[in-house]
Amino acid sequence: MFNYTIRRLFLAIPTLFFISLIIFLLLDLAPSDPTANLPLTIPPEVREKIRQSLGLGEPIHIRYLLWCKQFFINEPLNIMEQWFGWDIAGDRLRVLSWQTRSPVVDLIVQRTPQTLWVVGMSYVVGVLIALPIGIISAYRQYSWFDQVGTFISMIGFSVPTFFTGVLMIVVFSVWLGWFPSIYDTTHQVTDWASFWQQIRQMVMPVAVLALFNAAQISRFMRASMLDNLNQDYVRTARAKGLGERTVVLVHVLRNSLIPVVTVIALGVPQVFGGAIITEQVFKVNGLGQLLIISIQGGDLPTVQTLTFIFAFLIVLFNLIADVLYGVLDPRIRYD
């Protein structure tokens, strides 16, 4: 297992570099102009000087190598200096946002807590809801619980999150007045009252994303459980006199979690990307809103960095899923 993990880590390095090249080329070759949002009264020669100051006068391969140096070498050194107090000498250029002229990594660090509060919590809640629903629905197939769970799952998976978010705002904010419709990103938790206010403003965006995530995962959990409940080893375990709880929660559940782990692990980076719309609906000042603003403003460095981070999360959680296979099923060995 250790050797397999090391091999996968070494394989991930050229994979990530190839992904970074594709992302850089696609966004750089797109018809985007960072000076498009400037006033029309600015002369063309001034616009050209602005483009030159942003580094757009260099050849594309030079700009890619410079971006790689800034992102993969300079930024990690800056982070180590900030987090660990290391004194690493050197004057290093950083990846700067074209809109704010601030380091992109600093912008991401500022907005990540808001995304984790909403997106991270919604995914945890969705998984905790989906697993028991899928298990019970499979064990009590065609019961009223299974029918209700299937109906709610189909609604949650079919209805887009922007519609669910707007509907919850109309019902619970406008009509009932229970929860705030806009997420206050400047709110700080200092006592129980502020903590309760934080919970209240998190309820609706977390519920919207949790419903969507739980709908998909519960369907996979149910299908995997049904496939394993009819296997020969289940009948053998029951014939040996094992308790029904042991058969279902130990033998069947452990084997059923293998495909579900893939869905859960690979769904984490997709949630960060899919939460863009939800963050826009509830005005959450997170990574999704930063990506939308950067795309609208033609801020290529920020878009490139965020897109690469999403790709990195996919590679990372794909590796985590492969490692968990061997933990869940001892028969799986990586030689």
**What is the rounded distance in angstroms from the CA atom of residue 288 to the CA atom of residue 143?**
40
The CA-CA-CA angle for residues 219, 223, 225, to 5°, reads 115
Q: What Cα–Cα distance (Å) separates residue 128 from each residue in 131, 141, 215? A: 6, 20, 12
pLDDT of residue 81: 60
pLDDT of residue 333: 59
Q: Within the chain, which residue ranges are assigned CATH 1.10.3720.10? A: 109-328
Cβ count near 273 (within 10 Å): 17
- Per-residue pLDDT tens, the chain, 335 aa: give them: 667 677 777 788 888 888 888 888 887 777 766 666 666 677 777 777 767 766 666 777 777 887 777 777 766 666 666 555 555 555 566 667 777 777 777 788 777 777 777 877 888 888 898 888 888 888 888 888 888 888 888 888 788 877 888 888 888 888 888 888 887 777 777 778 878 888 888 888 888 888 888 888 888 888 888 888 878 887 888 888 877 788 888 788 877 887 888 888 877 776 666 567 777 777 777 777 778 888 777 777 888 888 888 888 888 888 887 777 766 666 665 55
pLDDT tens figures, 127-141:
898 888 888 888 888
Long-range contacts of 253-256 (CB under 8 A, 24+ apart): 253/135, 253/225, 254/328, 254/329, 255/228, 255/231, 255/328, 255/329, 256/221, 256/224, 256/225, 256/227, 256/228
pLDDT of residue 271: 65
pLDDT tens figures, 102-136:
777 778 877 777 777 787 788 888 889 888 888 88
Q: What is the CA radius of gyration of the chain?
A: 24
CATH no. of 109-328:
1.10.3720.10
Q: Which of 63, 70, 83, 79 is nearest to 21 (CA)?
A: 63
pLDDT of residue 335: 53
Global pTM reads: 0.75
What phi and psi values does residue 328 have, to the nearest 5 degrees?
-75, -40
**What is the rounded distance in angstroms from the CA atom of residue 161 to the CA atom of residue 277?**
7
pLDDT of residue 14: 84
pLDDT of residue 74: 66
Does residue 222 contact residue 138 with C-beta atoms inside 8 Å? yes
